């Protein structure tokens, strides 16, 4: 069921992103007086097709991994002299630039609208409060203490843990981080955390763990909220609603104590005392080994805690009026665009490991998880992926929109286009680069599995 949800979620996400991107090209081409022959979502054989009054074919094709807008163009096929003024290649360089740039710009516009809706409807989050701080860590050295609220990082306002993590991801490679916190009395404090090439080459990035602190969380009782059907917990007969009283005779008060015991006990038998419906019963549990993303192997039982209740003073709802939400959406779109561009630059300079590249498998998994987490999370993921698609398409690599824009920019400066030979060579190099990136992303996807 989870795999099916992932597939459906990624089809919806890619379908929306591709349609919006190609519609940008299509809409501007029409406004520039260019004849559009086909607007296709997907590649391969069309599953559905209709033709409008302008003679444009609208197709839904079998392979939902892209799309295209085919325009009248003398470089692809002979054009009737009576229609040559409608051909793409006959347009001014500025019209061609407008048509090509319209696709990525449509993706940024989609992200802006998605964030606007999200901010206007409202998002529920929790205050980013510092929890336990490890001794001799950068956080401890910078004076962070349990119970402080993180107000700003590098001057950027942080209202939620999402914003904290985004700010820290953007700081990859720095040797010093500046925090501003608020203590329980309301006083603001400045902190400087000394690090060395912060999170450079980490895969996956561990923003808080690297600094040496964890988020503050309310105490979570050791009560099981959900059991996976194929896990060790289900095999031992544990059920949702069970309260773990003790492990090996040692009393358990918090879910974290259970997690620590389980993770340290892969393939070892644990004797539990469990309370169910007012009765106490013994349960024998054997955690199975599970490999984490960082290579460590820990015990795993396939059970989740019953969600704890956050105190009202730590819950925060971010909701804005229609006009204020526009400003918030513009800021979020700009900051996520800058984060994406910065991440690409840091990957090229070696600060971020190429193994962080994600392909269709990871996108499908994250799309499914975001859909299961609720509409708010799904819309946020859609917006971020739309920005990523827009940025990637603007890279100056022939084959991508950015490569075509590079050719047209050179033409605008020189007053004449590059030779057909030079453009063909650029396209071959661009195709090889894109193919290599796709193979790498797919390889890293498989490694994550």
Question: What pLDDT does 151 receive?
Answer: 96
**Fold designation for 224-306:** Pdz3 Domain (2.30.42)
Model pTM? Answer: 0.80
Helix and strand numbers (H, E) in the chain are 12, 18
What CATH number does the domain located at 124-216+309-318 have? 2.30.42.10
From residue 67, alpha-carbon distances to 63, 203, 387, 426 in Å are 9, 32, 17, 22
How would you label 351-375 residue by residue, b for 16+ Cβ within 10 Å and e otherwise? bbbebbbbbebbbbbbbbbbbeeee
Judge whether 163 and 156 are in contact, CB under 8 Å: yes
What is the per-residue pLDDT for 31? 95
d(CA 249, CA 260): 15
What is d(CA 306, CA 223) in angstroms, rounded to the nearest whole number?
6
Cis ω for the linkage preceding 204 (within 30 of 0): yes
Helical pair 93-121 and 375-393, crossing angle rounded to 10 deg:
160
Per domain, the residue ranges of the chain are 102-122+321-449, 124-216+309-318, 224-306
- The pLDDT value recorded for residue 348 is 86
**What's the rounded Cα separation, in Å, for the pair 76 and 232?**
60
108 neighbors 337 (Cβ within 8 angstroms): yes
pLDDT at site 142: 94
**Helix, coil or strand: residue 246:** strand
Query: 34: which DSSP letter?
Result: P
Question: Does 224-306 match 124-216+309-318 at the fold level?
Answer: yes
The reported pLDDT for the residue numbered 335 is 92
DSSP states along 270-321: EEEEEEETTEEEEEEE-PEEEE-TTS-EEEE--EEEPPPPPPGGGEEEE---
> For position 273, what pLDDT does the model report?
93
Q: What does the pLDDT read at residue 294?
A: 63
- Residue 412 confidence (pLDDT): 93
Question: Beta partners for 59?
Answer: 40, 49
Catalytic annotation on 180? no
Q: Please tell me which residue in 22, 149, 163, 180 is annotated as part of the active site.
A: 22
pLDDT in tens, the chain (449 residues): 457 777 787 788 888 999 999 999 999 999 999 999 999 998 888 889 999 998 999 999 888 778 899 999 998 889 999 999 999 999 999 999 999 999 999 999 999 999 999 999 887 888 999 999 999 999 999 999 999 999 999 999 998 888 899 899 889 999 999 999 999 888 999 999 999 889 887 877 889 999 999 999 888 889 999 898 888 999 999 999 999 999 988 998 888 888 999 999 889 999 999 999 989 999 999 999 887 766 678 899 999 888 777 888 888 888 889 999 999 999 999 999 998 999 889 888 888 877 777 777 777 777 777 767 777 888 888 999 999 999 999 999 988 999 999 999 999 999 888 888 888 898 899 889 888 888 887 787 777 66
What per-residue confidence (pLDDT) applies to 70? 94
- pLDDT score, position 65: 75
């Amino acid at each position: 069921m989870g795999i099916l949800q992932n597939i459906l979620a990624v089809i919806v996400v890619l379908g929306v992103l591709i349609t919006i991107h190609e519609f940008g090209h299509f809409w501007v081409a029409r406004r520039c007086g260019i004849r559009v022959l086909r607007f296709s979502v997907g590649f391969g054989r069309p599953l559905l097709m209709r033709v409008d009054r302008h003679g444009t074919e609208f197709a839904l094709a079998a392979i939902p991994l892209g799309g295209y807008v085919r325009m009248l163009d003398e470089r692809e096929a002979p054009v009737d002299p009576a229609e040559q003024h409608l051909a793409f290649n006959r347009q001014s360089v500025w019209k061609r630039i407008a048509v090509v740039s319209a696709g990525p710009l449509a993706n940024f516009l989609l992200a802006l609208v998605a964030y606007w809706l999200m901010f206007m409807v409202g998002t529920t989050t929790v205050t980013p409060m510092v929890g336990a701080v490890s001794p001799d860590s950068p956080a401890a050295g910078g004076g962070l203490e349990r119970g402080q609220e993180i107000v700003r990082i590098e001057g950027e306002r942080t209202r939620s843990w999402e914003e904290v993590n985004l700010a820290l991801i953007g700081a990859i490679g720095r040797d010093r981080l500046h925090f501003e916190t608020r203590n329980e009395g309301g006083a603001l404090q400045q902190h400087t955390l000394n690090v060395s090439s912060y999170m450079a080459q980490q895969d996956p990035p561990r923003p808080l763990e690297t600094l040496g602190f964890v988020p503050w969380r309310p105490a979570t009782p050791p009560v099981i909220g959900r059991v996976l059907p194929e896990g060790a917990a289900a095999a031992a007969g544990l059920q949702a609603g069970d309260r773990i009283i003790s492990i090996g005779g040692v009393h358990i008060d918090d879910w974290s104590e259970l997690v620590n015991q389980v993770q340290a006990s892969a393939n070892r038998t644990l004797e539990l005392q469990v309370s169910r419906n007012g009765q106490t019963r013994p349960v024998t549990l054997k955690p199975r080994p599970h490999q984490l993303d960082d290579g460590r192997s820990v015990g795993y039982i396939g059970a989740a805690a019953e969600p704890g209740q956050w105190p009202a003073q730590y819950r925060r709802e971010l909701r804005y009026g229609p006009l204020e939400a526009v400003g918030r959406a513009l800021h979020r779109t700009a900051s996520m665009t800058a984060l994406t561009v910065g991440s690409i630059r840091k990957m090229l300079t070696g600060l971020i490991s190429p193994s962080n590249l994600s392909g269709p498998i990871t996108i499908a998994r994250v799309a499914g998880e975001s859909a299961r987490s609720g509409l708010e999370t799904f819309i946020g993921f859609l917006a971020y992926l739309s920005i990523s698609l827009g940025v990637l398409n603007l890279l100056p690599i022939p084959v991508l929109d950015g490569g075509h824009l590079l050719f047209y920019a050179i033409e605008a400066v020189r007053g004449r286009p590059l030779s057909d030979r030079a453009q063909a060579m650029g396209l071959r190099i661009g195709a090889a680069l894109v193919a290599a990136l796709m193979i790498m992303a797919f390889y890293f996807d498989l490694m994550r599995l």
